Structure 1
Amino acid sequence: MTTPSPTHTTDVAIIGAGPAGLFAAFECSMLKLGCILIDALDAVGGQCTALYPEKPIYDIPGHPAIEGGALIDALDRQIAPFDVPRLLGRRVESLEGTRGSFRLGTSNGDTIHAHAVIIAAGAGAFGPNRPPLEGLEAFERSGGVQYFVRRRADFANRDVLIAGGGDSAVDWALSLREVARSVKLVHRRDRFRAAPESLRQLDEAVARGEVEKIIGYQLHGLHGTDGQLAGVDLATLDGTVRHVACDHLLPFFGLATDLGPIAQWGLDTVRGTIPVTPSTCESSLSGIFAVGDVATYPGKLKLILQGFSEGAMAAHAIHPIVHPETALHFEYSTSKGVPTT
């Protein structure tokens, strides 16, 4: 006997449970719109949870600094009174229907019926750009080569080599110098694509001997036995090779992203993003909205705080779809309050 696939009915299906998706769930709930969160990861939080739970974020209003994991915990607590259902560890494979009546299917066989859809999928499915080095997989399995820092404590009293020239490479060099025995930062040129303040701090750390910069070199080879990393060969363009002893290699060469099935749903897309109307965040398909990094429009800034604003606009635009006969009288949260648990 075949077990029927679970079916869920809601007002708004939110695809993606990162910061933008979580706050969109809060805004929908405050407008008394039922919603459900769906994410391919096994936990809420998106990249904040999967990539940098201990990395401080400095541009969240009201928080001079807050770690990625702590931000997700706070957002999760914020929607707790509304008991928003979550379908985690599965991705949305299909979407069909029209404004007011959509049907979504997941990789786990779930069927979701919703009046509207919010896509908060960040950059879509993501994974690291891996360096083309012989024997790389064995060192990845042992943890000698890692692409994300989930716990700084894992690098305590270790010799760490960081490769890359962007914000992630510079930020983690500055952060890990506080716990690691040594930190070296290698880049092919003495020009980094990082925030000016981070570069100022890096220069100061280099001057104090807390971080060593290795300029003009690229990753060339890995050394170690039984998957345990012992060192890395670096090479210049003219073939000069330098060996660096280290316990861990952290290559930060960006993420390879893919919208996956979303790209097949008939939405207009531009370079892996979804163009939306700025005032409502509605996509080219009526009733389907996009917020956060996946959404694009003139003047768009890829900031978490902008994703929060977009979630609020999308929720208000969705209200007349779900309740066409009911006028929405906007109330500030200070007067409206939230349910108590």
Structure 2
Amino acid sequence: MSQTPERTDVVIIGAGPVGLFAVFECGMLGLKCHVVDALEMPGGQLSALYPEKPIYDIPGYPRIGAQDLVDRLTEQAAPFDPVYHLGSPVTGLTQDGGIWRVETARGTAIAAPTVIVCAGVGAFGPNRPPLDGIEAYEDQGPGLGVKYMVGRIEDFRGRRVVIAGGGDSAVDWALSLADVAESLAVVHRRAKFRAAPDNVRRLEDLAAAGK
């Protein structure tokens, strides 16, 4: 064991949308929370991978940007004064006498009777294809080279873009970049996309229109 732990009512592992909303729900019950996440900012994949991606399946919002949603959830949680431990991957979880102890890679220890795991897919990094030397083409500047996420749509204005993939993320980004890229191609190993049917229809309509 490391240092004497900080004590709280609830430890929430994961600062994505579910974790942020859990802070609000716990706060409404009068419970104080510490929030632990491996990323350096709250928001999970929404902030780290696609902050400008439009989201259509949030109750009460026909359309909302990913970072806008994170900002609203953070604002909603703020009155309950959560303590954030960001850039702190969880390295240990033990229980003794009904109290959980959470330890992080930064040496922090937190003790609480309740732990809520809102980790999604867990800590993540780029999903590189198995191509030798691909690292040499990464991070060549805004909108250039091999990217594993679209941070700012404007970085791709006037660029020739190829998107590899056929799931929701690939199709969503194709729809978002269609109006700013000089040209856009979507390459998928299967004959059918695996994205939401309505988005696939919209993508096919763009292709038929010569986009």
Under TM normalisation by the shorter chain, which class is it?
Answer: over 0.9
The TM-score normalised by the length of structure 1 is 0.59
Matching residue of 2:188: 187
Structure 2 letter corresponding to 1:51: L
Query: Counterpart of 2:180 in 1: which secondary structure?
Result: coil
Residues 27-50 of structure 1: CA deviation (Å, up to 9, x unaligned): 111100111101010000001111
In proportion to residue count, which structure has more strand?
1
Aligned residues: 207
Instruction: Give the RMSD, CA atoms, in angstroms.
Output: 1.5
- The structure-2 alpha-carbon separation of the partners of 1:52 and 1:101, relative to structure 1 and needing over 3 Å to count, comes to same
Q: Conserved in 1, the CA contact under 8 Å of 2:23 and 2:80?
A: no
Cα distance in 1, alignment partners of residues 27 and 123 from structure 2: 26
Matching residue of 1:113: 111
Structure 2 letter corresponding to 1:97: Q
The alignment status of 1:81 with 2:79, answered yes or no, reads: yes
Q: Conserved in 2, the CA contact under 8 Å of 1:9 and 1:114?
A: yes
Query: Counterpart of 1:105 in 2: which secondary structure?
Result: strand
Q: Conserved in 1, the CA contact under 8 Å of 2:174 and 2:184?
A: yes
How far residue 99 of structure 1 moved from its aligned partner, in angstroms, is: 6.6
Q: Conserved in 2, the CA contact under 8 Å of 1:16 and 1:39?
A: yes
1:100-249 correspondence runs (5 A): 100-142=98-140, 143-210=144-211
Gaps in structure 1 of 5+ consecutive residues? 211-341
Q: Conserved in 1, the CA contact under 8 Å of 2:90 and 2:102?
A: yes
Query: Counterpart of 1:86 in 2: which secondary structure?
Result: strand
How far residue 135 of structure 1 moved from its aligned partner, in angstroms, is: 2.4
Query: Counterpart of 1:118 in 2: which secondary structure?
Result: strand
Q: Which of 159-168 and 129-138 deviates more?
A: 129-138
Matching residue of 1:37: 35
Structure with higher Rg: it is 1
Residues 71-97 of structure 1: CA deviation (Å, up to 9, x unaligned): 000000001111111111111111111
Gaps in structure 2 of 5+ consecutive residues? none
Cα distance in 2, alignment partners of residues 186 and 103 from structure 1: 46
Residues 320-341 of structure 1: CA deviation (Å, up to 9, x unaligned): xxxxxxxxxxxxxxxxxxxxxx
Structure 2 letter corresponding to 1:40: A
How far residue 205 of structure 1 moved from its aligned partner, in angstroms, is: 0.4
Cα distance in 2, alignment partners of residues 101 and 31 from structure 1: 19
Q: Conserved in 1, the CA contact under 8 Å of 2:139 and 2:147?
A: no
The TM-score normalised by the length of structure 2 is 0.93
Give the percent of matched residue pairs that are identical in Structure 1 and Structure 2: 57
Structure 2 letter corresponding to 1:32: G
- The structure-2 alpha-carbon separation of the partners of 1:10 and 1:141, relative to structure 1 and needing over 3 Å to count, comes to same
Q: Conserved in 2, the CA contact under 8 Å of 1:14 and 1:118?
A: yes
How far residue 128 of structure 1 moved from its aligned partner, in angstroms, is: 3.2
Cα distance in 2, alignment partners of residues 104 and 92 from structure 1: 7
Cα distance in 2, alignment partners of residues 112 and 40 from structure 1: 15
